[in-house]
Structure 1
């Protein structure tokens, strides 16, 4: 089994440049934001730039890329305009990824803003039903969350509820962030096998498509979401 390992790279020099940079650090995958992670504006790559990245990936047997939706997306906001923005921007992101078929699109499910987790789950699933489409070549990943504030996705059960409520459930997977699940209350530092068993029971390991490897600045179940360098936090 091939292990695909990489890091987050910047699009500032273009898509082909990201592939070249990945090769330079001996990575065989990488993650990137398709637009401003804290805003929403984007600069579209040229067809030639995207084609250059595709060629690098083919020639060097890259694994699936993990494209990360901006933090500003909230599919379960209490403000309709916020949901509409997230839906439109995600549609655009997924249209772009049709030029890079077979990769992964990861996003934070959102915050229910005191509407309640059940309402949040329903709104996220409803939005995904409007965004995803038949024949798409991208798997969309829900990221495990730390449970800060009113975040949805703080437990495997909440993520499973979103998938179960979405008619495009077959196109959905999970990105497990080690800091987030630790901060959310899962004892991955002391019994990772038990956490994986729980994941398998609730979601099924076939849904686990990507890992964000981050240490945490805070103890288990802190619900803080403060990343630390690997080996320098509570995960060790």
Structure 2
């Protein structure tokens, strides 16, 4: 079965997200650990978490994906912004110990005129502060489209971050199809070549999640504008090739397309109908 879900709101609680996922035919989902543009985490109800864990087990869910808020920038030139990133990520990892097996995804950040090399140093510095040997959660670096001064615009920059982190076994990568396409990786015409490059630079064993999105813009545009499945410049055929690729087919896929729940349900049904395994 294709392991696929979408981004759900945690506003009504964790069990509610699990039930929403089931209602649209999903067997995993992504959620923000807190307001995506805020700082305060919602208080945790242990009974709510326990009920979700039971539901996940009963329905054989694939790993969930927690997403750090967009406001994080661990490589900001402003020390206060970096400290905010450190505090939030540390708190999030403590929370996720209550959800064993969940992975934690974050955008590496923007160096803002400091240069990518300095940005990479700062990101690795924070990861070295917050990662703990005993933690159950794997932290995922997301591939970025390269707009502005984003770090993670190519596989080499992600590898450079990993190389500077002591607990590298706690790190993985989330590949976003819109981001890599906008970043210049031709997953439409040369998917095998792109995956071979990823494997050579980072290692496919570190690829633990995929954001499956179409793109409003063209190859190498560096824009990061998501489109509904089959309604962008990547297209349905190429995205189905991603979900069906022998090296990717067993990974969890998470939709971040501009949809409400009915739209996500339709996309899940569409991609499942094209899944050959």
Where on the TM-score scale, by shorter chain, does this alignment land: which range?
Answer: over 0.9
SS in 2 for 1:38: coil
SS in 1 for 2:105: strand
Q: CA deviation at 1:43?
A: 1.0
Matches within 5 A, 1:160-171: 160-171=159-170
SS in 2 for 1:126: helix
- For 2:74 and 2:49, the matched residues in 1 are separated by 28
- For 2:184 and 2:176, the matched residues in 1 are separated by 13
Equivalence for 2:212: 213
Correspondence 1:117 to 2:128: no
Equivalence for 1:178: 177
CA contact (8 A) 1:132 1:168 kept: yes
Deviations 1:162-217 (A, max 9, x none): 00100011100000000000010000111111111110111110000000011111
Q: CA deviation at 1:3?
A: 3.3
Equivalence for 2:221: 222
Deviations 1:56-99 (A, max 9, x none): 11111111101000110011000000000010011111100000
| TM-score for both structures, normalised by structure 2 | 0.84
Equivalence for 1:235: 234
Deviations 1:105-142 (A, max 9, x none): 00000000110000011100010000111110000000
Q: CA deviation at 1:45?
A: 2.3
- For 2:128 and 2:153, the matched residues in 1 are separated by 21
Equivalence for 2:81: 82
Equivalence for 1:12: 11
In the alignment, structure 2 segments of 5+ residues that lack a partner are: 236-277
SS in 1 for 2:217: coil
CA contact (8 A) 1:15 1:45 kept: no
Q: CA RMSD in A?
A: 0.8
Deviations 1:142-178 (A, max 9, x none): 0000000000000000000000100011100000000
| TM-score for both structures, normalised by structure 1 | 0.98
- For 1:170 and 1:42, the matched residues in 2 are separated by 27
In the alignment, structure 1 segments of 5+ residues that lack a partner are: none
**Which stretch of structure 1 is more off in the superposition, 187-196 or 153-162?**
187-196
Matches within 5 A, 1:1-236: 2-236=1-235
Runs of 4+ more than 2 Å apart: none
SS in 2 for 1:71: coil
- For 1:177 and 1:113, the matched residues in 2 are separated by 22
